[in-house]
Amino acid sequence: MVQIKPRFLSFEEYLSYDDGTDNLYELFNGELIEVPPESGFNVEIATFLLVQFALMLGSQRVRGHGLELEVRGEPKNRYPDLTIIREEHIQLLKKRNTIRVSMAPPVLVVEVVSPGELQRDRDYIAKRSHYQDLGIPEYWIVDPQAGTVLLLALVEATYTEVETFQGNDVIRSPQLGILNATVAQVLAAVN
């Protein structure tokens, strides 16, 4: 029996869809694409950062890979590796862990780059464009292959590369202050 994948004409249609599984789907131009499990490597880095931010801000403001962001265009969404939400989001996300374009954007999103050119381009180009369009004030790209954390800040509606941290650099966020970790410690989370 062939199962036909639904096509959604709006994000509202997608939000009401339930296939009876716990699968995460990325919505791309109205079509569902099952999100494969993250690599253990990426999960360890994101979890290390989640703990650091939770200690700094409290656990309610920090969300892992399960937070969904609606993005503009054809019905689309993204699942950042880590998101720092606003206080106002806490109650709004109790029913469904989705930030809609009609809501205030999160404070910060973090993506951990997976190996491969396609994944690299998604994090450095496509996701950068989506997060910029949503008005997310800060975007971090953690690149284990390069050994860097690239910090981008929204300046006049455009992401500007503020700083590239590496090695023993302590990561400083314009929005949140100093993270109690160096790039080496973040990347050592996978060893």
Q: Residue 104 falls within a domain, yes or no? A: yes
Asked, for residue 30, whether it belongs to a domain, the answer is: no
Helix (H) or strand (E) holding 56: helix 40-57
Query: Residue 190's pLDDT is what?
Result: 64
Closest Cα to residue 138, out of 179, 93, 98, 107?
107
In the chain, the number of structural domains is: 1
Evaluate whether residue 134 is within a structural domain.
Answer: yes
| Element at 5 (helix H, strand E) | none
Q: Are 140 and 149 in contact (CB under 8 A)?
A: yes
CATH of the domain at 79: 3.90.1570.10
Least confident of 31-45, 66-80, 162-176: 31-45
Q: State if pTM tops 0.85.
A: yes
Full domain range(s) for residue 127: 38-188
Give 12-28 pLDDT, tens digit per residue.
888 888 888 888 888 88
Mean pLDDT over each residue of the chain, to the nearest integer? 89
* Residue 122 resides in a domain: yes
Task: Give the number of other Cβ atoms within 10 Å of residue 73's Cβ.
Answer: 9
125 SS3 class: helix
For 6-63, the pLDDT digits (tens) are 888 888 888 888 888 888 888 888 888 887 666 678 889 999 999 999 999 999 999 9
pLDDT in tens, 103-116: 999 999 999 998 88
Asked if residues 73 and 9 have their Cβ atoms less than 8 Å apart, the reply is no
